[in-house]
Structure 1
Amino acid sequence: MGTNAKNKDSFLKQGLRMPVLFAGAAALVICLVLVFVSTNFLINRGGDNDPSGVAGRRAPQGNVETLPGPDESRAEELHGVAVKSPTQSVAEELHGVVEVLAADEEWQAIGPGSVLEAGTRLRTGALSSATLAFYDGSRVVVGPQSELTLDQIQAGRRNVERIVVMTQFSGESQHDVAHSTHTGSRYEVHTAAATGAAKGTKFTVTINASQGAMFQVNEGQVAVTGSETTVLVESGQTTVVNLEEPPAEPAFFFTGQGAVTLTGSTWVVAGQVLTTHTGTVIVGDPQVGDEVFFQGRLQADDTRLVDLIVLLKRSAANRFSLTGIVEDIADGFWTVNGQLIAVTDVTLVDTGIVEDDLVEVEGLIMDDGTLQAETIRRLEKAPGLPFDFTGVVQTMGPEAWVISDITVAITGTTVISGSFESNDMVRVTGWILESGVWLAERIQSVPDETREFEFTGAIESMAPWIVAGVSFETRDWTVIEAGLVISDQVRVKGQVMSDGTWVASEISRLEDLTQVRIVLVGVVTGMDPWVVSGVTLTVDGDTLISRKVVLGMLVRVEIQVLDDGTWKVIRIDPLGKFELPGSCQEVTAVVQSVSGNKVQLEGWPALTLGEDVQVAGELKPNSVVLVQICYDEEGNPQIVYIYIILEPEVVEPPDGGGLPGENVEICHKPNSKNPHTIVVSQSALPGHLGHGDSLGPCP
């Protein structure tokens, strides 16, 4: 049953038939394939979920032999596909790129319903998967970036001998084996390191970068043989087998999900202490506060050795989204609505954005409070509703590409950054037009751990969820705004799982994209009234304030700028991973006075300007500034630099008018290309002038 020493060389030579795309990225393969466990077996996907396409649309994938509808047999009723012969397997469900090796040694794409026979070699691309059904009701789910051959297929039912043998070269496969009463029945999965044999069970086989194998049993028993040693792996257990070594003693595995409270060599997730090792795979760069899935093995001393950590959902407290006018574009930093935004080489920026454009900025709030942009999108003259997703290229044509089952239109204005081919992973941004066409604005390569999506559109169904023609799944942790109904316009955000499944993390009613929003990051210096980094905030019964917020805490404040220029505070949340002593932060504040080397910021004690302090601009009273403050070991604040954001002009009311309490007429400029005259109170005037409005009616 096991793979003996003399045929291992032959086995590995067969594996070398994989194309350079796979062989040259062995480490990447492992980082991707292990995630498949979490997305299918262990995050409530299974066979009970809706098996519709990843994104609600599946393009034809070449000429394939398809079968008629299912017959009345129990196996076909269970799996929804007709397998007409015990010597065949049928491709029941496919996502992304799935190919078989043809007689001419060329890889060819297949589609749902394709008939596979013994000797077929099959592979999947990134964000892809294939479910194969057998005549006896057994089936195997081939995970992303995986490859195997179907060596023998004689899937007799019930008391008829069943022999299904396959060889797995890379990636992951999940097996649901139908029970057989025949004593000669075999269901085997061969790898370079070992062989797993079962009669009626559910188990997973994962190949690592060094061709070692992990066998994990979810139900029943699997006999794992390697180096002439056999171990029996029971339900809930796993074993690891390295090349030319016997299988490790089976250990119980564990899985879970929850919020991250500690990272490093030791992680704490949902209160569980997890110990990492050199083979631990971490997908998505999770940070403290993020929601993750984890999987590992329980050691003899009760240590929880974690093998896999997958980002499920970003912490809202560590993210920001704001809409406003671009005031300045500099190398490495933009200013939008007075907010300094860090822009990096990986920030996705719409082409042609200039100063005075209205934009939407989304990104991460770093540990020091810096707002680092992930995307900057122009909102003026938008041809439709925006979308942004990561997927695998399936087909490319002059007028349309198919990416993870979604057809996107290509025009002369589409920016394609790089040279791509089938099976490449890309990030696509664009617009969903009124006609329903997904118009690609930009296609570019992405880091392999980047698997997020975001799009907007009308709700077409809520069971299952379909928005703008796109199907996706939800989980217990998906945040769904209350009161949503069919036809509502919504924004959907989430993660693309490694098998191509889209899982929403948030579904919210779509706001007016042109409405100005501000994110303020700073320290709470007052709570009655609320003062954050020198800015006084008016809160009301609608403001969501976390109970965890206390004086001196670094917080994230989400603000909506109303049409009359006043600020409506939407929510105040603590910002994770901030410790006062020995740390630094950036705060926005108003200068009250400057005297010699002393500066008084509103809501702060007088601070000393040391000789090394960098001041960008003229520092004077009433200036709005961005200040980096670091704390020494005793907790004393020290200014590192001051950046002048705004120097408001002192404007006298015309004709000597404008007594306290009177209203004044101003030219309101929420969009520099659409100013209009409004009347505001004297108390609201400074805020308007500070955001670029001018006194008096618009010309």
Structure 2
Amino acid sequence: MRHVRNILGWLFPVVSALVLVAGGCGRQVSGEEIRGLLQALDGREIVIRLDDGSIVRVRVEEAQAPAGVRDLVEKQVRVEVRTSDGARVMSKIEERRGREDENRARGLEDFHFTGVIQSISSDAWVIGTKTFKVDSRTTLDRGLSVGMLARVEFVVLQDGSMLALEIETDAAKEGRFTGTVESKSVSSWVVGGKTFAIDQKTRLRGILDVGAVVKVEFVKRADGSMLATKIEAEEPEDDHFTGKIESKSATQWTIGGKTFKVDASTKLDSGLNIGTLARVEFIRQQDGSLLALEIETAGRDDFHFAGVVQSIGADAWVIGGKTFKVDSNTVIDQGIEVGVMVRVEFVAQPDGSNRATEIETGGQEELRFTGIAERKGADAWVVMGRTFKVNAATRIERDADVGKQVRVDFVRLPDGSDLATRIKEDRQGKPGESRFSGTVEAKAATAWTISGKTFKVDNNTRIDDRLVVGSRVRVEFVIQQDRSFLALRLERDSGGGR
């Protein structure tokens, strides 16, 4: 490659090439550097948002001080990266300079771009959203095809077009997948419709028969195939669901829109009729179906809800968009006012209304954010550029102060602002990290609704394959500049269930 660059060097004016790349390429990913907005430090990874909205993760090694990285969160950065064990690893990070300074610093270097191959022809390839010319000087990896992730080394011609010097498959990437074993051979397994190669280094743990639910750790190889590094049995977990009985038979019941198999071992409460509100304890079987272990009439302790108080009346409260009747028997914490996050314990009435038995401050459906406290006031705190309202109900711990890393538990109010319910010092948290736990209410290709909140998802979102509507889920996410939530990871929350 070096001799090709030398030949091309005198053909293409440096200034033209640099200006065109600076204007046309924007913040892009290459095998040597990434340029974009440093959105968060997620454990031992940094999360970088590119101009096109996509997210790139880069591993940070133990020897690299995270403190310096924290200072650059929410800033435009340039990251030099290298590949180690199939993953991008940070070599150097610095705040981005102006374009003129950056162009001067680049000198005679050529440029790089990584994207998915969209089309291939004899004289041009479309990769990502960019078109690259190819000719006899272009070096092509074997096995490249449409749909593969590829890395392009290129130069900008005088007419503004881009000539590919080399196109190669992108480095291997690590991943995880959970599914049912469909077939096994000495060289590969099919799990949940995906084929994973195995070799003598693949670690196998547990009972791994065909039909078993397993978790696969793998790396994506240069040819696009996946090599399993570890396969282990996934133990079935009990879960719970509450809903109205819609139909029932000797082999299955439909409750709240979900179908549950029943057999001789299923325990059934007496008095369960169509329309009765029931609580189901169940397990997910290897074929994905739900087997009811027990179905019982839902009791008063089964119903809880968390949300922000929107209105308070003598006989009814509106909390998180839902109306709850209150009476002299309702136990209500002192100091609750409109805008406060509360947890409601309630029972369903025969007429379909909900009667609150207890309303208390707090709740399980709060959001969480970690960062350096920059300013504080009587009605708001600013933490790592984010503004959080505070009021008389906000618990502010003594150790929380400006300049310290703090954790903010908060709720999003109807007007889109964020109200802190608690602020405390947090030395262990990850700056820029936000978390939330709730119940999956809807899922789509671009967004999930979890306990009334919308989280965007994209190709970089890590999603637990077991999650279905009704599952309890824990979300790690970032707050974007438009204040929407982008999920980084969605995983099953074993701490609770419906």
Same fold? TM cut 0.5:
no
Q: Normalising to structure 2: TM-score of the pair?
A: 0.34
Structure whose CA Rg is larger: 1
Q: Normalising to structure 1: TM-score of the pair?
A: 0.26
